[in-house]
Amino acid sequence: MRSDRGNLTSRLVAAGSAVLLGLAGAAIAADPASASGHHPTPGSAGLGDRLYPLLGNGGYDVQNYDLSVFYPKKDPAQQVRGNVTITAVATQSLSRFDLDFGGDGVGKVTVNGRPAAFSRSGDELIITPQRPLDNHRRFTVTVSGFTATPISPNANSPAGFVTTPDGTIMAGQPDQSHQLFPSNDHPRDLATYTITMTAPVGWTATANGQPIRTTQRGGYVTSTYREFHPMAAELIQLAVGDFVTVNRAPVNGIPIRDVVPRRLADKLLPEAADERNEVAWMESKVGRYPFERYGSLVIDGDLGFALETQTLSLYDTTWFSLPTVILNPVLTHELAHQWFGDSVAPWVWSDVWQNEGHATWYEVLYAYETGTLKEYAGVTTLDDYYKRAYANGDRWRARYGPVAYPLRSDSIWDVFNPNVYDGGALALFALRQKIGVRDFERLERAWVAKYRGRSASTQDFIALASRVSGQDLRSFLNDWLYGSKTPPMPGHPDWTTTAVSSSAVAPALHR
C-alpha cells in the first residue's frame, strides 16, 4: 500500500485540535463532530491505531501523571498498590472517558475531586464523572488504591510489569505499561511524570528522569523522581528491588547513572562503561541529548530484548554476556532511541520503523566507525551490510508487510519485525544515497530538533526530508516505505533481492 489512511485521517483531525487548543503537539484525535460541538459524548475507547485499536483513549490529552506505587515487602512477585493523579485537557465535551488499565483492582476514582462512577471492560477503565467535562478544559482524575501483580516473563508474555530475581521492573513497549497503572497508553499522548515509589529499607527504587527526594519512615524508603520531558507511558521505568545505583562522570554535562542488581554490580558495571563514549558519539551525529540524564538498567534474566525506557535503557544479563564488540552497538541502538522513538515518538505504531530503522542505522554506523563491523555483522563496509539487507527486502515485505505498514499485530514480533529494523535502516540508506550524506545528516538533526518532545508520523518524515533536501521525495519514500517490492537502490543498480519463494528469513535480533 502507498498510504496509511488511518494515519492521515487522524492527523487531519489532530491538526484541528492542536489549533483549537494552542498546544505545541501531542493533541489527541477526537471525533470532529463532538470536538466542535458542545453536546457531551463518550471519549473513544482507543485512538484508532490500526495495529492496537484499543490502545490510548479519545477525548483528552494528558499533561502530567503523578504516580505513586507502594511495594509492601521485599518480594519481587508481590502485588503492589498505587495511586495516580492525571492532569489532562479535554479535546471534546466528555460525558465519560476511558483510561487503559489491566491491573488487578481499582479502589476509588475521583474527577476534579468528586467521586466518579467507574466500570471495567477488558483493559478499559471507564469513568463517568458526576458532571460532563467541557471541551478544552483542564481536569484531574485520581485513581486511588489500584493494584497490580507483576508477571514472570516468558515467551508468550515477554513484557510488561515483570519480576526479576532482584525485584520488579517495567518493559511496557508497546502496550503493557497499563498493566501496572491507569494511563493513556499510546505514544501519541506524551506527558510529564512524577513517580514516587515506597519500598522496604534495603531495597532501592529508580525511575525515569531526575531524582527529587528520598525520605525514610517506619521501615520504608520513599523515592521520588521527576521526568520533566514529555514521555509516552510505554517508556516508563520503575526499577524497585535489591539494586544499586552508581553514578558515572557526566558526558557533556549529562549525568550518567547505571542501575544493576547489587550482587552482580562488580561484573556488570565495567561492561556498561562504554555508554559514555556512545553518548558523545551520538551527540556528534544528531545534536544535544534530549533528556536530563542517561544510563543503563541491567536485570538478571533473559527477556529476549533490550528496551529504550526513557533516560534509563533496559538490558538483561544475556546481552551483557556478549563480547563488547556485540554489546556496544546494542547499547548504541538503545541510546539512539532516546532521540528516535522516545523524544520523537511515533504517531501510530505503524511508524515504529522511525524508531527501529534509525536505532539500527546508528547501531550499524557505530560498529562501522569503531572498526568492529566485521565482528558485529560479518561484513566490513556499510555498502556490504545494506547490500545483504537489500537481498532480503522482498522476502521481508512479503512476510511482514511494507516498512511503514506492518501487516499484523498478533504477536509483538509481527510489529517489531526485521523489516522495520534492517528494512527501516535500508530505507534510510536509500535516502542517503538519493540526497547525499550532507543533506541526510542535516535531515537527521532537523528531525530530532523539530519534533523534540512530540509525536510525528511517517508523512511528517517524508515532508521534512523533502524540505531539507529541496527535492520532492514523496514518490521515492512512499515506494520505499509503503511498497510491496523493494525499489531499486540509488547508486547500486546491480543490487538484487532474493526470490520471495524462499521461506528462510534471517532470525530477528530484538533490540
Q: Do the bridges between strand 238-241 and strand 204-207 make them parallel or antiparallel, or are there none, so unpaired?
A: antiparallel
The distance of closest approach from Cβ of residue 408 to Zn ion in the complex, given in angstroms and rounded to an integer, is 19
**Residue 507 vs residues 327, 418, 422, 501: alpha-carbon distances, Å:** 18, 8, 12, 17
Interface with Zn ion (CB under 5 A) = 356, 359, 511
Closest Cα to residue 349, out of 2, 100, 64, 4? 4
Q: CA–CA separation, 273 vs 248, rounded Å?
A: 8
Q: For Zn ion, which is the closer residue by CB, 47 or 359?
A: 359
DSSP string computed for 84-117: EEEEEEESS-EEEEEEE--SSB--EEEETTEE-E
Contact 56, 49 (CB under 8 A): yes
As given in the structure block, the three cell numbers for residue 69 are 506505587
Tell me how far, at minimum, the Cβ of 359 lies from Zn ion, in Å. Answer: 4
The answer to whether 210 and 292 are in contact (CB under 8 A) is yes
Question: Measured from the CB of residue 301, what is the shortest distance to Zn ion in angstroms?
Answer: 18
Q: What angle do CA 33, 92, 458 make, to 5 degrees?
A: 80
**Beta-bridge mates of residue 254:** 251
How far apart, in whole angstroms, are the C-alpha atoms of residue 237 and residue 193?
11
Least distance in angstroms from the C-beta of 79 to Zn ion? 31
Q: Please, which residue, 189 or 356, has the CB nearer to Zn ion?
A: 356
Q: Which is nearer to Zn ion, 196 or 354 (CB)?
A: 354
Residue 226 vs 511, nearer CB to Zn ion: 511
Query: The C-alpha cell of 158 is what?
Result: 515477554
Number of separate helices (H) and strands (E) present in the chain: 14, 22
CB of 481 to Zn ion, least distance (A): 18
Residue number with CB closer to Zn ion (272 or 359): 359
If the CB atoms of residues 185 and 363 are measured against Zn ion, the closer one turns out to be: 363
Q: Calculate Rg over the CA atoms of the chain.
A: 22
Closer by beta carbon to Zn ion, 432 or else 511: 511
In the bound state with Zn ion, the residue whose beta carbon lies nearer, of 109 and 344, is 344
Residue 280's contacts (CB-CB under 8 Å, 6 or more residues apart) are 251, 252
> What residue type is assigned to position 38 of the chain?
H
Are residues 79 and 148 in contact, defined by beta-carbon separation less than 8 angstroms?
yes
Q: From the centroid of its chain, how far is CA 207?
A: 15
CB of 143: closest distance to Zn ion in angstroms? Answer: 31
What are phi and psi for residue 348, nearest 5 degrees?
-135, 165
Closer Cβ to Zn ion, 150 or 341, answer by number: 341
- Shortest gap between Cβ of 363 and Zn ion (angstroms)? 8
Q: How far is the CB of 361 from Zn ion (least distance, A)?
A: 11
What are the helix (H) ranges across 240-381? 265-271, 275-286, 317-320, 324-339, 352-369, 373-377
Minimal distance in Å, beta carbon 337 to Zn ion? 6
452 vs 511, beta carbon nearer Zn ion: 511
As a whole number of angstroms, the distance between CA 120 and CA 437 comes to: 52
Instruction: Residue 72: count other Cβ atoms within 10 Å of its Cβ.
Output: 13
Give the residue carrying C-alpha cell 556490504. 384
Whole-number minimum distance, CB 333 to Zn ion, in Å? 6
Q: Which is nearer to Zn ion, 353 or 476 (CB)?
A: 353
Rounded to a whole number of angstroms, the minimum distance from the CB of residue 107 to Zn ion is 36
Q: Which residue has the cell 556512545?
A: 278
